[in-house]
Every structure is written in C-alpha cells, then in structure tokens.
Amino acid sequence: MKFLGYRRNSGRVGVRNHVLVFPTVICAAGVAEMISREVPGTIYLGHQHGCGHLGDERDHMIRTMVGTCANPNVAGVLLVGLGCEMLTADLLGEKLREAGQRVETIATQAMQGTGEAIEEGTELAQKLLEEAKGAQRDQVDASELMVAAKCGGSDTLSGLTANPAMGVACDILIKDGGSAIFTETPEMLGAEHVLAKRAADEEVRRRIWEITSRTDSKIKAMGLDIREAEPGPGNIEAGLTTLAEKSLGAIRKGGTTPIVEVVEYAEKPSKKGLVIMDGPAHDVVGVTGMVAAGAQVVVFTTGIGTPVGSPIAPVIKVSSNSPLYQRWRDNMDVNGGTILDGGETLQSMGERLVEEIMEVASGKLTRAEVLGHREFAIHTIAPTV
Amino acid sequence: MSEAVIVVDEKDNVATALRPLEEGELLQVHIGGRALDVTVLQPIPFGHKIALTDLEKGQPVVKYGEVIGLATQRIGKGGHTHVHNVEGQTGRGDRT
C-alpha cells in the first residue's frame, strides 16, 4: 500500500504540514498565542508545563514536548520561551535540531517585553510558514506509518464492533510493514494475561506485567479505588459493568499480532509492529502521548461520542453503533455499527478503515480537523512545585 | 437488526442486547453453532447484558471467554446482568 506523504529531513514521513508556535513554559504561552494569531496558518499549542518539575518528570516533559514538536506531521516549530524556566527554548531547540527538526527560538526575557517578542516571533513564524509551503507530498510506502488506536466514551458495542474492526486494520497495516500503537494502561487491568500471551518475547511479557501492576499498585498505594472512575458513569449507563469487561473490549483495538515493544509515555518505539505505550486512559492525554511517540494518524473509536481531536495528527472517529453515527453525523468519520445492522463483517470493516487511513494520510481532512478540534494535554507524573 | 443479542465467545454466560429487550420476550440466542432459547426476565436496555444461564451468587460472569466479574446474588437465566448484581475483581482498592 502507498500514500502521499511529506518526507522530512529526519527521514520520517508526515501526513500533515503544520507549523507550530510552541511555548516551552506556560509563562510564555500568552506571547506564543499572540504570535500565532499574527500568523494565520500556524498552530498555537498551549499547555501548563515547562517549569517546577521534580525527579523523573523533567525528562518525561522534555521527551513529550520534543516528541510533539518532532512529529513528522510538523514542518517547523517556533519555540517561545521565557528565559528563567526549567525547559528553555534553547534546551528544547537543541534537542529538536538533533532530531532533524526545523526550529527557531525566542526568549521573552532577552527582549524588551511582549511587544518586541511578538514582533520578532511573528517574523520567524512567517519564515517557517513560507518554508513549509515548499514541502511537497510524494508517494511513500504504508510501512512509514504508525497509527495510534484509541477508544473513549466506550459502550458495550465498542468492544464488539469498532474496536475489533480497528484490530483488523492494525493487523493489515502491520502485515504491510507498518506500526500501530495503543495505550491506556488502566484499561489493560483485567486483560493483562491476554496481552502477556501475545508478547513477542520474554522482555515484552515482563514489561506488560510491569506497567499493569505498577498502575494498579500506584492507585492502591494512594488509598484510592480505580473503580470510582473505571468504568465511568457513562460507560455504566451504556452497559459496561466492570473494569475487566471494559479492558477486554478495549484491547481488541490493537488486533491480534504479537506485541513487539512496550514504551514509556511519549517514547518513540524502536521496533516496527504492534506497540503498547504505558499511559493513562484519559483520552486527550493518551492521544497527546502517542502523537509525541511519533504516530501520524489516530483512529478513535467511541460508543457514546467524543469530539476530541489533536493539533498535530488527524483523528479518525469511528462510531461503535449506527444511532451514534446518525446523531453525531458532524463528528463521525466512519460507522462501525454496520457490523451489527448493515451486514458488514469485521474483516470488511477493517479493510474499509485501512482505506480511510490511507486517504486521510494522503490529505483527506477528518471531521475533527474540519471542526477545528485541537485538544492537547500532557500527562503529569509528579507534583508541580 | 436481525439478532436481538450477540454472544462473543462460546464460553460466555452472558449476551449483549442489540436493542432494548422487553420482559417476557422469548429470544433465540445463537452461540457458535447452537441455538438457545432464553426468556427475558425484566426489561434490558440496549447494550446491556442478559444472563444465558442461571448464575449462582459468587459464580463467574464470562464475556469474551474471560471472567469479567462475580455474581453478587443469584441471577436467573434471562436476567439483567449489570452493576446491581455483578462485582469486578480487578483493581480492588477496598481490599488493600
């Protein structure tokens, strides 16, 4: 299979050609937003982090921010820093250049305040946008793709229609040399043994048990009960009874191929094939992490409906049932309900999903993109001081 | 919809409703190659689960061929099987 993508200097292939204005710290977010407003066509990517990180969270934040900005869907990045923060524009800029990304940096404290920073930043952002316009799509092999599979706002049909259909799509993509990634460690609890059986080797098996038991014990150590939130109230109303039931349905979206690697949040996989990323079940935080890990396209299955997108990657919405598809026509790209009421098989639905992924990778806009959904949130792992 | 309920795995003792099920309705449920008659004991909403056999208190509830929880009370064949009579065994923060 082939699609039309942007081959980057890093060697990786993008499916979009975004220019980001990215604050390295929340204190620079206002300036970054004002610069982006001056240069239509750029994407401002706000977040709450960049300073006060303790322990492992510093590296975790650097990895996530660098991964986000280095995603091949991004043609160029203007990093906007303040100057006194932990994660400066210079620090992230150097790492992005090492990753082969086109980057410019400014730091507001080195200038005479907001006015000059906007003036300077606007010029740089315009330059990056002009350069990006020169990028051309070329025919590339589907093996260049890493597709993220996510489910959210799940119902009991998610695990019977949209998720297994996405599983078929993952199997097809991986057979063709590509990769798929899924996360949501809390929604692996109760299904760990099923995943562990599919580990490609002993180390992957060990890692699957490690991330699931770590998630389970961390919550318990805080004196909390995951069942307060898993399954969520909407899941229960839709018929999901226990976390194990939700998990067994959720993992079906990864398909049936061996799990070749388990990566940390926002960590770039080193192997091709089916990859698990350790991360929360939170929809936006999960998508952000997988896109930072390098996924160029996201397939998001839902039974109750959720509008979320991504500022970097196209998000394809697949409904688990036809009533949702009809009611949320504006937000849904593909109807998985036809497996129940349209005489479609999981196999043909999975093949249809692969076709959709190829079209979207080649430039077809998803409903989340048309509507302007750009939700973005980074996972935190320590208290911010 | 042709089928009223769907069974994922032959080992399952619950099925998922593909439309709202009415009390007293007689269903023919297909499990693998065989058919099973089940009378709906009480109204069951779309997407919710129905017991395919009598489940005693403490008995595993099986879906996807895996245990999803234990019955907290007796659930009759055809009964609504959900949070009011099933308890998950995963992530039990109350048992630490």
Q: Does domain B5-91 have CATH number 2.30.130.110?
A: yes
Closest CA to A346 of A151, A168, A149: A168
Report the pLDDT value the prediction gives residue A180, as an integer from 0 to 100. 98
Q: Does B92 touch chain A (CB under 8 A)?
A: yes
> What is the ipTM score, two decimals?
0.96
**Do residues A217 and B95 make contact, with C-beta atoms less than 8 angstroms apart?**
no
pLDDT tens-digit map of A177-200: 999 999 999 999 999 999 999 999
What is the pLDDT confidence band of residue B4, given thresholds at 50, 70 and 90? very high
How do strand A146-151 and strand A18-23 relate by DSSP bridges? Answer: unpaired
Q: Does A144 touch chain B (CB under 8 A)?
A: no
- pLDDT, residue B95, reads 84
Minimal CA separation from A171 to chain B, in Å: 19
Binning pLDDT at 50, 70 and 90, where does residue B92 land? confident
Nearest chain B CA: its distance from A157 CA (Å): 7
Edge-to-edge strand ranges of the sheet holding B60-63: B60-63, B66-71, B86-87
Report which residue type is found at A88.
Answer: T
Q: Is B70 on the interface with A (CB under 8 A)?
A: no
Residue B51 binned pLDDT confidence (cut-offs 50, 70, 90): very high
Q: Say what the pLDDT of residue B1 is.
A: 43
Task: Sort A98 into a burial class: Cβ within 10 Å, 0-12 / 13-18 / 19+.
Answer: exposed
In this complex, is the C-beta atom of B80 within 8 Å of any C-beta atom belonging to chain A?
no
| Residue B96 banded pLDDT, cuts 50, 70, 90 | confident
Q: Per residue in A265-307, pLDDT tens?
A: 999 999 999 999 999 999 999 999 999 999 999 999 999 999 9
Confidence (pLDDT) at A245: 96
> What is the per-residue pLDDT for B93?
86
Count how many residues are written for chain A. 385
Q: How much is the pLDDT for A184?
A: 96
- HSE (side-chain half, CA atoms, 13 Å) at B26: 3
Query: What does the pLDDT average to over A220-247?
Result: 92
**What pLDDT band is residue B17 in, cutting at 50, 70 and 90?**
very high
Measured CA distances, A34 to A110, A129, A261, A334, B49 (Å): 18, 16, 41, 36, 52
Confidence of residue B2 (pLDDT cuts 50, 70, 90): low
C-beta atoms of B66 and A191 within 8 A: yes
Residue A219: its chain B contacts at CB < 8 A? 91, 93
**How many CA within 13 A on the CB side of residue B31?**
20
Tell me how many residue pairs between chain A and chain B have CB atoms under 8 A apart.
100
Residue A209 to residue B1: CA distance in whole angstroms = 40
Q: Are A251 and A168 in contact (CB under 8 A)?
A: no
Interface test with B, best of A242, A321, A345 (most B CBs within 10 A): A242
Q: Is the pLDDT of residue B63 over 60?
A: yes
Is the CB of B90 less than 8 angstroms away from the CB of A219?
A: no
Farthest CA pair distance, chain A? 66
**Do A145 and A173 contact (CB within 8 A), yes or no?**
yes
Query: In this structure, how many other beta carbons lie within 10 angstroms of the beta carbon of residue A105?
Result: 22
**What residue segments make up the domains of chain B, in order of their start?**
5-91
Contacts with A157 from chain B: Cβ below 8 Å? 16, 47
